């Protein structure tokens, strides 16, 4: 005997055949060709905030019906129960509260902006999830205690962040990130800043330079390398030295070999470890290279606090406090269900005292 077919509930389209997982807002946004924030506003029938055209509302509602989207009741209850708490999650073993930590100025900006907007902060650390190696489906679930969360760290778990984004939980990463899709981020304009540093060296007469960087694909590193390459396009030649352990691999012999090949300037990237700049300073000292007489040095960022001795390096300063404030502004907008954009923040060029004209013996 043929079983009777189940009837769809009024006002709701059945889920596509063969589908077992609940459709998410991120899928509705992709199908409708709009942002997830717009989907959230339309489905919640919010008329405050940014104006949304009737055509956009129609596209969102049609996409939701075609996917069989139904709001998660638990998520809606959580969304309605705002408690004015913003999370800050750092992918470090301990939370960076030391004033010498490179993340500390970011947190100053975060705290000031959050206070101005009436938010309290909940601080999370990666120590309970293995630091940067956080893994597992629930590794970041505790951040849902807050209304939204700001993430700091060079290496963040893409899959876990992707789950939060797909669920419509407000998330902002401090620093450019291309993955997961749909993640909001704020960042500094490292490309222009690195290009300006190289342009300064080129203006002094340098035509062959080497960039020393860590061996990974962190967006901040690739942006700096891009700016380095762009700065040299019309004036000279540059090479890139990548190492997972610069302090081990960047030897005095290697520096002397580059100098013998005509290299006159060495540029290091800044990271939260400070490994590239630390290695370059040590290798130059061990090789007996006097800076800037024998070679010029530059740092794409600010020196670590524990390396503040000696001449100020040529380079640029990252507007960390301003970036922290921008991240909070974006996160607060997402929590309110609004569209959120922040422009790249410009870095400040630092002439420093570690660069000068190349040695007079160089044949230009």
pLDDT digits (tens, 9 = 90+) for 279-320: 999 999 999 999 999 999 999 998 877 766 788 999 999 999
pLDDT at 255 over 70: yes
Confidence of residue 187 (pLDDT cuts 50, 70, 90): very high
pLDDT at 274 over 60: yes
% pLDDT > 70, the chain: 80
Q: How far is CA 263 from CA 229, 233, 290, 324, in A?
A: 15, 16, 14, 37
pLDDT at 330 over 90: yes
Closest CA to 96 of 126, 69, 72, 134: 126
pLDDT digits (tens, 9 = 90+) for 200-252: 999 999 999 999 999 988 889 999 999 999 999 988 899 999 999 999 999 99
pLDDT digits (tens, 9 = 90+) for 84-125: 899 999 877 666 666 667 788 899 999 999 999 999 999 887
pLDDT at 176 over 60: yes
pLDDT digits (tens, 9 = 90+) for 59-69: 888 888 888 88
Supply the Cα-derived Rg of the chain in whole angstroms: 25
Q: What kind and span of H or E run contains 298?
A: strand 296-300
- Taking residues 178-198, what's their average pLDDT? 93
Q: What is the pTM of this model?
A: 0.72
Confidence of residue 141 (pLDDT cuts 50, 70, 90): confident
Question: How do strand 184-186 and strand 348-350 relate by DSSP bridges?
Answer: unpaired
Cα separation, 128 vs 111, whole angstroms: 23
Name the strands in the sheet holding 265-269, side by side, starting at the edge strand that comes first in the sequence. 237-243, 208-214, 265-269, 296-300, 314-317, 348-350
Confidence of residue 1 (pLDDT cuts 50, 70, 90): very low
Cα separation, 173 vs 271, whole angstroms: 16
Q: What is the pLDDT of residue 131?
A: 46
Cis ω for the linkage preceding 180 (within 30 of 0):
yes
pLDDT at 8 over 60: no
Cα separation, 346 vs 104, whole angstroms: 19
Cα separation, 324 vs 257, whole angstroms: 42
């Amino acid at each position: 005997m043929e079983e009777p077919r189940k009837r769809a509930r009024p006002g709701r389209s059945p889920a596509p055949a063969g589908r077992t997982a609940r459709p998410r807002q991120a899928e509705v946004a992709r199908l409708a060709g709009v942002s997830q924030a717009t989907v959230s506003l339309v489905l919640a029938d919010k008329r405050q905030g940014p104006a949304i055209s009737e055509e956009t509302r129609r596209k969102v509602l049609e996409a939701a019906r075609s996917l069989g989207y139904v709001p998660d009741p638990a998520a809606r209850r959580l969304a309605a129960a705002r408690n004015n708490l913003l999370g800050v999650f750092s992918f470090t073993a301990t939370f960076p509260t030391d004033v010498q930590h490179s993340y500390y100025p970011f947190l100053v900006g975060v705290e000031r902006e959050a206070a101005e907007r009436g938010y309290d902060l909940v601080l999370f650390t990666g120590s309970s999830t293995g630091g940067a190696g956080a893994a597992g489906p629930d590794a970041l679930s505790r951040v849902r205690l807050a209304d939204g969360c700001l993430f700091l760290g060079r290496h963040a778990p893409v899959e876990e962040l992707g789950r939060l984004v797909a669920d419509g939980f407000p998330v902002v990463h401090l620093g450019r990130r291309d993955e997961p899709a749909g993640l909001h981020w704020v960042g500094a304009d490292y490309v222009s800043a690195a290009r300006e540093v190289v342009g300064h060296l080129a203006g002094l007469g340098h035509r062959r330079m080497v960039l020393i960087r860590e061996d990974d694909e962190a967006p901040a590193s690739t942006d700096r390398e891009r700016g380095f390459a762009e700065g040299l396009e019309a004036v000279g030649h540059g090479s890139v030295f990548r190492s997972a352990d610069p302090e081990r691999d960047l030897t005095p012999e290697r520096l002397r070999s580059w100098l013998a090949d005509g290299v006159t300037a060495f540029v290091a990237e800044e990271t939260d470890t400070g490994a590239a700049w630390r290695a370059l300073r040590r290798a130059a000292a061990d090789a007996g290279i006097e800076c800037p007489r024998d070679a010029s040095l530059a740092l794409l960022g600010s020196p670590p606090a524990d390396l503040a001795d000696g001449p100020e390096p040529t380079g640029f300063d990252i507007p960390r406090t301003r970036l922290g404030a921008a991240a909070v502004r974006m996160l607060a907008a997402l929590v309110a269900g609004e569209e959120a954009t922040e422009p790249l923040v410009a870095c400040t060029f630092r002439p420093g005292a570690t660069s000068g004209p190349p040695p007079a013996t160089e044949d230009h």
